[in-house]
Amino acid sequence: MSRLPQLRARKVIAALQRAGFVQARVRGSHHFLQHPDGRCTVIPAHAGEDIGRGLLRKILDDCELTADEFLDLL
């Protein structure tokens, strides 16, 4: 298994969009992404902060993606 990097929210959102997710809505600094098959997740896009490895793992679990699949999308 690959070690996940700490990334900016913008890069995570772009990678998930390449996987077919679309931005459903934004509430404050939280971006709600949804896939046409029903999978969804929330990405906190706080200015100047990275998304940590633990939160990124939770996002990937919500999206039903493996770490290797996600790293290929970056």
Which residue ranges make up each domain of the chain? 7-73
Rounded to whole angstroms, the Cα distance separating 35 from 51 reads 21
CATH topology of domain 7-73: Metal Transport, Frataxin; Chain A (3.30.920)
Rounded to whole angstroms, the Cα distance separating 36 from 20 reads 8
- Tens of pLDDT, residue by residue over 28-67, are 999 999 999 999 999 999 999 999 999 999 999 999 999 9
3 confidence band (pLDDT: 50, 70, 90): confident
- pTM: predicted TM-score of the whole model, two decimal places: 0.92
